[in-house]
Structure 1
Amino acid sequence: MRLIKYLFIFGLVCGVLAAIGVAGVVWHFSQDLPSTEGLRDVRLQVPLRIYSADNQLIGEYGAERREPLAYQEIPDPLIKAFLAAEDDRFFKHPGVDYQGLLRAAWVLALTGEKAQGGSTITMQLARNFFLSSEKSYVRKVREILLALQMERQLSKQEILTFYLNKIFLGHRAYGIGAAAKVYYGKELPDLSLAQMAMIAGLPKAPSRYNPISGPQRALLRRNYVLRRMRELEYIDDAAYQTALDEPISAELRRATIDLEAHYVAEYARGRIINQFGLDAYTSGIEVVTTIHAKPQRAAVAALRKNLIDYDLRHGYRGPEAQLGDLGQELDGLDGAELETVLGPMLEEFSSVGGLEPALVLAVDESTIRVWSSDSGVLTLDANEQPYEKLDQVLTHGDLVRLKAADAEDGKTSWSLAQVPEVQGALVSIDPQNGAVLAMAGGFDYFASKFNRAMQAQRQPGSSFKPFVYSAALENGFTPATVINDAPVVFHDAALGGAWRPQNYSGRFYGPTPLRTGLYNSRNLVAIRVLEGAGLDTVRNYVTRFGFERDRIPRDLSMALGTGVFSPLEMAGGFAVFANGGYRVEPYLIEQVRTAEGEVLHQALPPSVCEAACQRERDAELKAQAEMTEVREALGTSALQGEVQEMVFPPAAERVISEANAYVMTDMLRDVVQRGTARRARQLGRNDLAGKTGTTNDQIDAWFCGFNARHVAVSWVGFDDIKPLGSRETGSRAALPMWIDYMGVALDGVPSQVRPQPAGVVSARIDPETGMLASYGSANAQFEIFIEGKLPEAADYGYAAQDGVTVEGAPPSREDELLEDIF
């Protein structure tokens, strides 16, 4: 008995000492444990995402792909798959599974090796959030203590949600939402049971059991998870067998972009990083831009089609590369064997602007056999290709490009193409507030990241003339003013001495009304208008449209658009005509918000607010003031929360008169109806206005056009400033792009011509003299004028110069139609 007593006392002392020791260890390691309270407020590393105004994803930036989900959004089979694979007693243990730890300790005692088992989901979460991956007893103790602490402070559902959103699952995928997108391109509820089991098998070793990197090991791991689910009675035998028979369908997928707008996304990314720093890549910031999906898709398609059409007009430059003599080695090979042999040869060549790379296998006078990674072997009819004598240009082993088109039978037809060397841009804005509706900055962003819509500084050519004419209307000219379109020599020191400007056609047309000079883009008329209105007067005036004065030359070449501006700046200038005379600032970012929806920035751009708009604002502000008076009379608690402060965007500044804007728009509509842009009549609308532009030697081609809803500017040119070629003017090289875009952007939108405002009057004139027509004049026609600026008895007539011969004075209608047709 005494021995038993001593043993009991000894055991008790040892137990107390052990308890003290354990308590000491717990106390020691608890001193610097991080608080798990912050888990509820933790912000997972969510990438920066850029959206269109209609919620289409256009860009995603960040080292980690993550799609955080709430517990209610996680499918139950996926939860059970993870429990089966990682911790089937998760909802029973207090954060530490003592059975699992004892098993791991037993294995350690028998083998001397540290087993991987024993960690619960809670312990894994503690390690991933707060600790390193170092394998040591000290880390394990801290892991256990943290897990117990987390279980006291968080619910099981919260812990599991954090874990499933945090866990790394390979290929930049963090969390189950991102993994579903990366491996299957689906949302979680759309996954099959086998696919869920595949994802649930990844945490053990994301690189080893990855279905992309190690498909066979991944299959074994998936089947293990399915077997555990059946053993735990999470699924029945039928579901188990069906999932077991399902082949691996995982395929690495990039971030799914809903809308191609890479130039817009890059601009937004740069602005956000400048403002918020590199943390923006991981803090889940969401940026909403002003672009809309329908016009954006139309802009990209119109630009690519137009540049390819231009390229076709200038012939085939030959294959893009020669990848080697394929000889007879390919004879008799099937599709899989061809992929093995030819696939590596095309790996470094990706699609550019929708043009697919392909290898020439054989070519003769009638057919061209090619192979592409996506479509396999294709046989092209040489006689249906846009280029001639291809058998003399191509040989086997050549790298070519293919352009896809939808055939009448619903199948895809292919034709030979080439990546254009020429570049272009198209940008469209809302003239009421400057919001950019669409932007395409080049043929393909990944081939050239230079955004020509915003960054290119090019001469606008004749598309700048409307701003000069608007200044003239404010300084004594009218649409009926007759200007002598005759050769002249200007002695201007700023232009290097004598300057002999010409019209594009090389002809001169004699006395020409201002309206005709604009819609037929007569250079001599524009120069004389500038000279008559005053160089400094016009130069100061055009800054009202948003153009920097320092970039406007102080010489007569200003009339021909020799300053340099971007397509976006030109769009902002033409918006003044489109909205009735107000200056709006083009902008691209509508809203910036956190992943939780907190608004960090909300655009409030100056917007056009005319009479009806202002009356509505005044009424709302009056109602707000009256309600405030009632609150003050009754006490603030009586009407708590019923009055919200009205927030309006500031009113845009009026920079030209409504009358001037209306007259200029009317003249610019004639450019479309009977001038250099008459090809746009195919759109069947009467509310389109604009101006073509071509610079010397056809270096730049423009069309700047608008109606009340859209301002769109298209530009075509070479980055290295070389000529576009003979007859590649604005109406031929740039206008078709604008037509294709507007045809889609305005589809279903009724024509809307601004009504003639007060301050604009109509009068009958003699078209040959520009004077008011006398009663009964046979050839009189109506013209509009700014009120108070009608022509008098003698207008700005013309006087023929000595020794000058002019052709066709006045010009015939035939001459007008032929002028600048191309």
Structure 2
Amino acid sequence: MKLIKRLILLTIICAFLGVISIIGMYFYLKPELPSVEVLREVKLQTPMRIFTADGKLISQYGVKRRIPVSLDDVPETLVQALIATEDSRFYDHIGVDPIGVVRAFINLVVTGERGQGASTLTMQMARGFFLTREKKFSRKIRELFIALHMEQELSKEQILELYLNKVELGHRAFGFGAAAQVYYGKNLNELNLAQIATLAGLPQAPSTLNPISRPERSKERRRIVLLRMLDEGYITRQQFDEAAQAPVSAKKHGAELALDAPYLADLIYNEMVEIYGKEIAETSGFNVYATAPYAIQKAAQEAVIQNLHDYDERHGYRGPLAQLWPALPPLEVEPVSTETPPLANTESSQDALLEDTPRFNPDAWSEEKITAYLDSVEEIAPLVPAVVLAVQERSASVIIAEGERIELTWDGLDWARPYINDQAQGEDPELASDILQEGMLIYIRKRAEDDVWQLGQFPDASGALVALNPENGAVQAVVGGYSFYHSQFNRATQAKRQVGSNIKPFVYSAAIDNGYNIASIINDAPINQWDASSGVAWRPQNSPAIYDGPIRMRVALGMSKNVVSVRLLRGVGLDQTVDYLTRFGFDKDDIPRDETLSLGSGSHTPLEVVTGIATLANGGFAVRPYFIDRIENDLDEVIWQANPVHACEPCISDESIQENVELSEEDIEAQLAAEFNQFGDTKGDPTQEKRSAERVISAQTAFLVTEMMRSAVRANGNWNNKTYWLGTGWRARNLLQREDIGGKTGTTNDSKDTWFSGFAGNLVATSWVGFDDASRQLGRTSRNQNLINKNPEKFNWIGNAMIGVEDGAKGAQPAWIRFMQAVLEDKDEVIKQIPDGIVRVRIDRKTGKLTRRNDHTSMFEYFRAGTEPTTYVVDDELSLPIDEEKKKQPEIEEIF
């Protein structure tokens, strides 16, 4: 009894000393405990999400994937699973579970090892928010005190909601909302019991128990969770059996994107980082809305991708990615004896026999080995890696990584004549064996227009397309290449390439403002200019090298006459033209200070070009491109709204034409900083009056230049009267069948860069195609009869069947046309009003003078009031019918 009394006394003394020590330790550590405000206003690190203008998710940025959820939106089954597994007395303890502490103490005494069995959900929260996972007594004591403190300041429901959103669950998923998306691609309320139990088992060890990295261990952990739920009475035995036996269905999912638009998203992300800094931008839960609508951005991406495939495929097939195993040699067949009575359709029967005869290839890989290998091959959407299993007469069987077998018909193979070089292609294939062999690793793709699988290859050439709203500069679409994941270089905004004849509308605009009119006669004749400094003559040539003598400016721009552009530059003056071009937003340092600038030797980005075209299309206003419409915080409150300048007459100043003022990079950054401060205090007011854009050219000049650009995209005159001529971009109006379009092709020397820029509806857009290696020519193509036979109605105006030297009309314009076809399909034409100060008079087609005739020799033309011709054509000057051979263009040869 004395011994027992002593033990009791010792226990009491130890307990008293322990309490005193704990109290002392609490007061010692109290200053380090988190404040009430920190606990109540804890900010979850939520990634930035980027949406289209109409609310479709296109990207998500942030190291931690988090989808905050409220407790009301969490399935009760998940709450039950967590409580049963992690803390069955959660609603009963004060933050620390005495029973759990005793259990952990006994475990320590018995085993000599420190465990974590005493941790409650509240203690896990304390560790997750404020501490580390290191196994030290000092950390554990701090954890206890913080848990007690949290229970005093927060309700059980608040603690549980924080836990559901904060806990780390592997694969950069933080919180159960994000984990449901990462592992299953679903919302929490869409998960079944097996999936919920899997997620509930992750907090213990997310790196080693997750169902993607360790499916077997995850399955074992799931069973433990289900057993605890069964023991606590949350589920029945039948539910337990069904969930425990369910297969592991998890696989890694990205954010649920409505459209993957990485070039657009990357521009917006970089702008957000520039303003807010990387950490704030990626963790503050911003919802950023682009100016680009979903449908327009999607159409632009599809147009660029299809156009690059068209270009690449008409130049031929470059062969497989690899030959995984040697194919069997072709089967030799004994010739049929001439003495044997011929069977009906002998040749067809023999082909059928060959196709049906199984041939064993000892080197062939197993299906399991093939699919495992394909898992390691990069998939570059829309290209899918595949392996050829068998080749028939005019078809081939392939397999993809998922194990699906796909039949490539002749319709998906017939394009693949051999690529020799950029200038030449081989013979058209006749059999599938001319193209493929068993064991080849290839790419295939599904055609967008008819869902037919066909042989594919990664395009060598690059492309870009950017579209703006000309009224305010809002970017409606931007595509910087074939695949952002293959090359993050954004050719729409970063690639300065020679623009070729795309510069001519701006040169003609300078001419209109310096004494020329739309009917001015310019001599389309060869130029020979001796350059004493170089000792050679400069001889700019038309392309093609056809010269028509004196022609009107409208015809010269429509037919893209190079020598006329040079003569206009000389008439205006080099320095004056350079200064004039800066009105359209071109950097003066990028404009050549010689006469080659009239032919487009200057290098500019597609974004710069389309911005200049917008000034012409909107009536002469300088709008600035912008990508972000508005920014919302994590509470869905608008913290910034774009307030762009507009091209509108009611909001302009009384001044007619203002000199263009160039902003330095420092000025632009200062403006951006004023618009976006760190916490979004300077948001724009969308209800305020529109701000006027600076007028840089007159409305009359803009109208006259766009009129000439309309002639460049159509057939003009009358064939029967022999006044017929084609603009270089004639395919556009043929396909779009709209009156409100205008544009200009552009091709540089040796076809290294091809362009098409134009306007239609309420859009302006620029398309570019070229190689990233600026020295490489886009080349030429010969006739591919297979494609002509398949698509005779498309021959010569769009697609793979186009032949000859690559130029702006063949290389870049088809993407522009496809894009406009998609976005303007249900849109009415937008016909701009003729501005004040424009008159329309009847002129002679040949001389540009006034005429009293109303036959095919005359036409109505627009002029700025006061610049119209004042003299009449005399009989000796009357127009003669255009000589058919002289006016014939290469495109005409393609049609007839």
Normalising to structure 1: TM-score of the pair? Answer: 0.88
* Residue in structure 2 matched with residue 210 of structure 1 by the alignment: 210
Q: Distance in 2 between matches of 1:535 and 1:424?
A: 31
Task: Give how far 1:331 is off.
Answer: 8.4
1:720–1:99 CA distance, 2 compared to 1 (3 A): same
Task: Give how far 1:503 is off.
Answer: 1.4
Report SS of the residue matched to 2:692. coil
* Residue in structure 2 matched with residue 179 of structure 1 by the alignment: 179
Task: Give how far 1:709 is off.
Answer: 0.9
In 1, are the aligned partners of 2:85 and 2:228 still within 8 Å (CA)? yes
Report SS of the residue matched to 2:712. helix
Query: 1:354 corresponds to which letter in structure 2?
Result: P
1:281–1:197 CA distance, 2 compared to 1 (3 A): same
Matching residue within 520, 532, 550 for 1:481: 520
Report SS of the residue matched to 1:503. coil
Task: Give how far 1:500 is off.
Answer: 1.5
* Residue in structure 2 matched with residue 688 of structure 1 by the alignment: 741
1:116–1:518 CA distance, 2 compared to 1 (3 A): same
In 1, are the aligned partners of 2:292 and 2:476 still within 8 Å (CA)? yes
In 2, are the aligned partners of 1:211 and 1:248 still within 8 Å (CA)? yes
> Any idea what the Cα deviations from partners look like across 1:714-734, whole Å, max 9, x if unmatched?
111111121111321111111
* Residue in structure 1 matched with residue 399 of structure 2 by the alignment: 371
> Any idea what the Cα deviations from partners look like across 1:318-340, whole Å, max 9, x if unmatched?
12233444779x9889xxx9453
1:38 maps to 2:38: yes
* Residue in structure 1 matched with residue 703 of structure 2 by the alignment: 662
1:603 maps to 2:642: yes
Compute the RMSD of aligned alpha carbons: 3.1
1:710 maps to 2:763: yes
1:370–1:275 CA distance, 2 compared to 1 (3 A): same
1:652 maps to 2:723: no
Q: Distance in 2 between matches of 1:712 and 1:548?
A: 20
1:261 maps to 2:314: no
In 2, are the aligned partners of 1:365 and 1:382 still within 8 Å (CA)? no
In 1, are the aligned partners of 2:652 and 2:692 still within 8 Å (CA)? no
1:286 maps to 2:277: no
Task: Give how far 1:794 is off.
Answer: 8.1
Task: Give how far 1:200 is off.
Answer: 0.7
Report SS of the residue matched to 1:67. coil
Task: Give how far 1:109 is off.
Answer: 3.0
584-593 or 447-456: which moved more?
A: 584-593
1:399–1:19 CA distance, 2 compared to 1 (3 A): closer
* Residue in structure 2 matched with residue 314 of structure 1 by the alignment: 315
Which segments of 5 or more consecutive residues in structure 2 lack a partner in the other structure? 330-357, 417-428, 655-684, 716-726, 781-804
> Any idea what the Cα deviations from partners look like across 1:597-655, whole Å, max 9, x if unmatched?
4555433222222238999xxxxxxxxxxxxxxxxxxxxxxxxxxxx995344210111
Query: 1:401 corresponds to which letter in structure 2?
Result: Y
Query: 2:749 corresponds to which letter in structure 1?
Result: N
Task: Give how far 1:184 is off.
Answer: 0.3
Q: Distance in 2 between matches of 1:6 and 1:235?
A: 49
In 2, are the aligned partners of 1:62 and 1:281 still within 8 Å (CA)? yes
> Any idea what the Cα deviations from partners look like across 1:293-350, whole Å, max 9, x if unmatched?
111111111111111111111111112233444779x9889xxx94531134334422
> Any idea what the Cα deviations from partners look like across 1:140-172, whole Å, max 9, x if unmatched?
222111111000001111111111111111111
In 1, are the aligned partners of 2:395 and 2:432 still within 8 Å (CA)? no
In 1, are the aligned partners of 2:643 and 2:686 still within 8 Å (CA)? no
1:129 maps to 2:129: yes
> Any idea what the Cα deviations from partners look like across 1:414-458, whole Å, max 9, x if unmatched?
211211101110111110111111111111111111111011111
Q: How many residues align?
A: 777
Task: Give how far 1:58 is off.
Answer: 2.2
Query: 2:543 corresponds to which letter in structure 1?
Result: Y
Q: Distance in 2 between matches of 1:290 and 1:581?
A: 22
1:736 maps to 2:789: no
Normalising to structure 2: TM-score of the pair? Answer: 0.81
* Residue in structure 2 matched with residue 431 of structure 1 by the alignment: 470
1:437–1:406 CA distance, 2 compared to 1 (3 A): closer
In 2, are the aligned partners of 1:201 and 1:222 still within 8 Å (CA)? yes
Matching residue within 768, 771, 786 for 2:849: 771
* Residue in structure 1 matched with residue 570 of structure 2 by the alignment: 531
Which segments of 5 or more consecutive residues in structure 1 lack a partner in the other structure? 616-643, 800-807
Q: Distance in 2 between matches of 1:4 and 1:355?
A: 81
Task: Give how far 1:554 is off.
Answer: 2.2
* Residue in structure 1 matched with residue 89 of structure 2 by the alignment: 89
Q: Distance in 1 between matches of 2:9 and 2:407?
A: 95
In 1, are the aligned partners of 2:651 and 2:691 still within 8 Å (CA)? no
Report SS of the residue matched to 1:585. coil
Task: Give how far 1:754 is off.
Answer: 0.4
Query: 1:359 corresponds to which letter in structure 2?
Result: V
1:355 maps to 2:383: yes
In 1, are the aligned partners of 2:761 and 2:824 still within 8 Å (CA)? no
* Residue in structure 2 matched with residue 678 of structure 1 by the alignment: 730
* Residue in structure 2 matched with residue 518 of structure 1 by the alignment: 557
In 1, are the aligned partners of 2:779 and 2:806 still within 8 Å (CA)? yes
* Residue in structure 2 matched with residue 747 of structure 1 by the alignment: 825
Map 1:151-190 → 2, pairs under 5 A: 151-190=151-190
* Residue in structure 1 matched with residue 301 of structure 2 by the alignment: 300
1:226–1:516 CA distance, 2 compared to 1 (3 A): same
Q: Distance in 2 between matches of 1:4 and 1:358?
A: 80
1:561 maps to 2:600: yes
* Residue in structure 2 matched with residue 583 of structure 1 by the alignment: 622
In 2, are the aligned partners of 1:510 and 1:810 still within 8 Å (CA)? no
In 1, are the aligned partners of 2:375 and 2:401 still within 8 Å (CA)? no
In 1, are the aligned partners of 2:443 and 2:455 still within 8 Å (CA)? yes
Report SS of the residue matched to 2:129. helix
Q: Distance in 1 between matches of 2:432 and 2:11?
A: 97
Map 1:69-84 → 2, pairs under 5 A: 69-84=69-84
* Residue in structure 2 matched with residue 621 of structure 1 by the alignment: none
1:489–1:4 CA distance, 2 compared to 1 (3 A): closer
1:18–1:140 CA distance, 2 compared to 1 (3 A): closer
Query: 1:380 corresponds to which letter in structure 2?
Result: L
Task: Give how far 1:14 is off.
Answer: 6.5
Q: Distance in 1 between matches of 2:140 and 2:884?
A: 93
Query: 1:586 corresponds to which letter in structure 2?
Result: P
Task: Give how far 1:776 is off.
Answer: 7.1
Task: Give how far 1:469 is off.
Answer: 0.9
Q: Distance in 1 between matches of 2:843 and 2:645?
A: 40
Report SS of the residue matched to 2:496. coil
1:274–1:566 CA distance, 2 compared to 1 (3 A): same
Report SS of the residue matched to 1:782. strand
* Residue in structure 2 matched with residue 618 of structure 1 by the alignment: none
Report SS of the residue matched to 1:667. helix
Report SS of the residue matched to 1:369. strand
Matching residue within 883, 889, 892 for 1:818: 889
In 2, are the aligned partners of 1:339 and 1:373 still within 8 Å (CA)? no
1:509–1:546 CA distance, 2 compared to 1 (3 A): same
> Any idea what the Cα deviations from partners look like across 1:213-267, whole Å, max 9, x if unmatched?
2222222222332232233233344544443443221111123332121112222
- The sequence identity of aligned pairs, in percent, is 44
* Residue in structure 2 matched with residue 451 of structure 1 by the alignment: 490
> Any idea what the Cα deviations from partners look like across 1:470-508, whole Å, max 9, x if unmatched?
111111111111222122212356887421222112111
Query: 2:620 corresponds to which letter in structure 1?
Result: G
Task: Give how far 1:9 is off.
Answer: 9.1
In 2, are the aligned partners of 1:467 and 1:542 still within 8 Å (CA)? yes
Report SS of the residue matched to 1:754. coil
* Residue in structure 1 matched with residue 751 of structure 2 by the alignment: 698
1:756 maps to 2:834: yes
373-382 or 466-475: which moved more?
A: 373-382
810-819 or 736-745: which moved more?
A: 810-819
* Residue in structure 1 matched with residue 790 of structure 2 by the alignment: none
Q: Distance in 2 between matches of 1:518 and 1:404?
A: 40
